[in-house]
Structure 1
Amino acid sequence: MSAFNIPTKICDKLDSTSRRFWWKPKSSQGRFIAWNAWEKLCHPKSQGGLGFKKAKDFNLALIAKLAWIVATKRESICMDILRAKYKVKHDWLYSDPIKTTSPCWRAIERATNLIVKGACYLIGDGASISVWSNPLIYELFDEALAHAILKILLHASPMQDKLMWILDPKGRFSVKSAYKEAITHEPGPNPSEGLWKKLWKARLPERIKMLLRSVSGIQLAGGSELTWRGSNHMWIS
């Protein structure tokens, strides 16, 4: 799952198995009632979901780790072979994918869009960055100011350019943060984020928290209002 693109049909079956296990764990056959949509359960706990991971998005996040290793030029025999075989250059993240490649490399190139969304360069000597092919400056500034910036002469520096992961305070890539970036296009649920954080941080047994979350999710689906009173009291009106 971390080296190839898993077909959508197989990912849907994996999601279906997870749904059945959650709603009807004692039986592998027959119908079951799903009190919440699967998309809603896949949202983080702080947003009213339960943190389940969609197989297709998680597959993309795992492959993005390989793309990150390739882009950051990390020393690895396997990655060195791939970089040499497909002639990876400094502008690889922004170049068009190669048409005839192995399934593994096609999956890695598919994940470059996710890396571009969550990464930036820490500028050193500027050797790894081509401002003429990288539209970043023109996206951030107007045309006149962009031209003025491009005319600035940079002094030579012994420090090399470094690719940083902006979704982590220390700039380190993680599959967890990549998965969050992969699902950012999906709309969040209606309840406020602070309310759910209070629920999961409350000093209550986990079974009680899950019960409150399940009941509140059903009630909210019917249009009721969920409110929080005090430190450990939740009300549904």
Structure 2
Amino acid sequence: MSRILIVEDEPRIVSFLAKGLQANGFTTTHAVNAAQATDFALSGDFDLMILDLGLPDKDGMVLLNELRGQGFSQPIIVLTARDDIHDKVNGFEAGADDYVTKPFRFEELLARVKARLRNIQPAGTSNDNILTIGPIVLDRLTRQVQVSGKLVDLSAREFILTETFMRHAGQVLSREQLLDLVWGYDYDPGSNIVDVYVGYLRKKLYSDCIETIRGMGYRMLTSSIKD
């Protein structure tokens, strides 16, 4: 049974979320401020967090960034009234896995929760937290990536994209799959955001780490050797 941490200071919303999630087989705990959320999150007992940004003691965006910096690697779904595109981009860059704006339909939130939980790999062994493909080493706990022993500076979105490619090394991933797995919400079908970020990774990791499969998508090679 998955455990979900609800970080929200509005009792009505907490009650609504808790009842709905519990009715669907989840166990819930709630925190009313950033201090409580940090204590709960770092206990390691939760599979997913639903985070409101308007907390009484600290901006939720700051909390999100801090939790990622302290090694909280479980999915975080931001649930907020802030619907400006810049807020959404900042949320994803800070480490959010999904972004839902209020007012919202519970059915949609539930679907996003289930989707994020499906992407979690079983924890408990070093292989779950340390991924290695050729010269690339990714640490999920420290959220750091090294290439041939040298630390590479990646944004939160670049890190998630790298992890996604590494977990599916050798498999062809379409642009649509990558949008769903990494960004978690719909972009304009004509958007080139995936292509742009793949370009970033080729520059920061090494040029031939990700192969373009024409008409299909991208694939991380499983035995590439850095130039």
- TMscore range, shorter length: under 0.3
TM-score (norm 2): 0.26
Larger radius of gyration: 1
Structure number having the greater strand percentage: 2
> TM-score, structure 1 length as denominator?
0.25
Between 1 and 2, higher relative CO (CA 8 Å, sep ≥ 6) is seen in 1
